[in-house]
C-alpha cells in the first residue's frame, strides 16, 4: 500500500523528479516499468524530467564485440531482478558479435529525446521506455535513423522535421548539455532518480535499479520530511 499524500501541501515547493538514464543502459531498461508507474502516480502533481546521461560516447566507433561478453553475463541478472525480457533480435547481436554491424553510441537516442521533449514534454518518460524497448527487445540499432520510424508513426511526429533536427548541431548541443548536467548532478551510474524541491535542494531517491514500492516510499518520505516541524 502506498502512503496517501495531499499534494496541495507541496504546491509551494514545485518539486521535480529528475530521471537520469541512458538508452543503452540495460538496468535502465529493467527500470522502465518502475519509472513508467512513477510517472503515472506523480506526473499530475509534479514535473518529471528525463535526462540522457551519455553512457557510451566513444571518440571513435567501437564495435559491439568489445562489450558483448559483459552483456552476456549481465543481462540474465537484469531479467531475474527486474522481470524484463531481452528480445531475441537484441540477443542475436550479443551472442553473435562477430556477425553484428552494431557500433553503440548514446548520442543519437539522446538527441531524439531532446527533440521529443520539445514536442511532447508530458510524454518523455514513455518515449524513454519506447527507446529502450526498441533496442533491448526489438533489436533496433539506435545509431540508425530507421530505428526511429516506428516511433515517429506511433507519436504522429513530422518525419521530415524530426530527421532535420536529428542531424542538427543545435539538438546535438542540447544532448551534450544533458550529458554535462548529469555530471553536475554527480550522477555516477544509471538509472538514477533525483527529487528537486528548490534550486539548492536535490535529494537522491534511487541509484541503480530500485523496486517501485521502495521508490514511492522514498519520494513520499522526502516530501513529508520537508513539511514536518523541526
Q: Give the domain ranges of the chain.
A: 7-59+104-221
Q: What is the pLDDT of residue 8?
A: 46
Q: Rounded to whole angstroms, how far apart are CA atoms 227 and 222?
A: 9
Under-50 pLDDT residues of the chain:
1, 7-9
Q: What is the pLDDT of residue 229?
A: 57
Q: What is the pLDDT of residue 54?
A: 98
For the structural domain made of 7-59+104-221, what CATH number should be given?
3.40.30.10
Three-state DSSP at 195 gives strand
pTM listed for this prediction: 0.93
Q: List the beta strands (DSSP E) in the chain.
A: 16-21, 47-52, 192-196, 202-207
Amino acid at each position: 500500500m502506498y502512503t496517501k499524500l495531499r499534494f496541495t501541501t507541496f504546491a509551494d515547493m514545485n518539486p521535480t523528479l529528475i530521471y537520469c538514464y541512458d538508452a543503452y543502459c540495460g538496468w535502465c531498461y529493467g527500470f522502465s516499468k518502475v519509472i513508467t508507474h512513477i510517472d503515472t502516480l506523480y506526473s499530475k502533481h509534479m514535473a518529471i524530467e528525463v535526462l540522457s546521461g551519455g553512457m557510451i560516447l566513444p571518440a571513435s566507433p567501437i564495435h559491439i564485440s568489445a562489450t558483448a561478453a559483459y552483456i552476456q553475463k549481465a543481462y540474465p541478472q537484469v531479467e531475474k531482478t527486474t522481470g524484463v525480457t531481452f528480445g531475441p533480435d537484441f540477443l542475436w547481436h550479443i551472442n553473435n558479435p562477430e556477425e553484428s554491424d552494431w557500433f553503440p553510441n548514446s548520442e543519437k537516442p539522446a538527441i531524439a529525446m531532446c527533440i521529443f521533449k520539445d514536442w511532447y514534454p508530458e510524454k518523455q518518460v514513455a518515449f524513454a521506455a519506447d527507446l529502450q524497448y526498441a533496442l533491448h527487445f526489438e533489436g533496433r540499432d539506435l545509431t540508425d535513423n530507421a530505428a526511429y520510424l516506428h516511433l515517429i508513426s506511433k507519436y504522429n511526429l513530422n518525419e521530415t522535421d524530426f530527421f532535420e533536427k536529428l542531424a542538427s548541431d543545435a539538438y546535438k548541443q542540447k544532448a551534450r548539455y544533458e550529458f554535462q548536467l548529469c555530471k553536475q548532478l554527480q550522477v555516477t551510474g544509471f538509472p538514477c532518480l533525483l527529487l528537486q524541491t528548490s534550486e539548492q535542494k536535490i535529494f537522491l531517491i534511487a541509484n541503480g535499479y530500485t523496486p517501485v514500492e521502495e521508490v514511492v516510499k522514498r519520494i513520499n518520505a522526502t516530501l513529508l520530511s520537508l513539511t514536518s516541524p523541526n
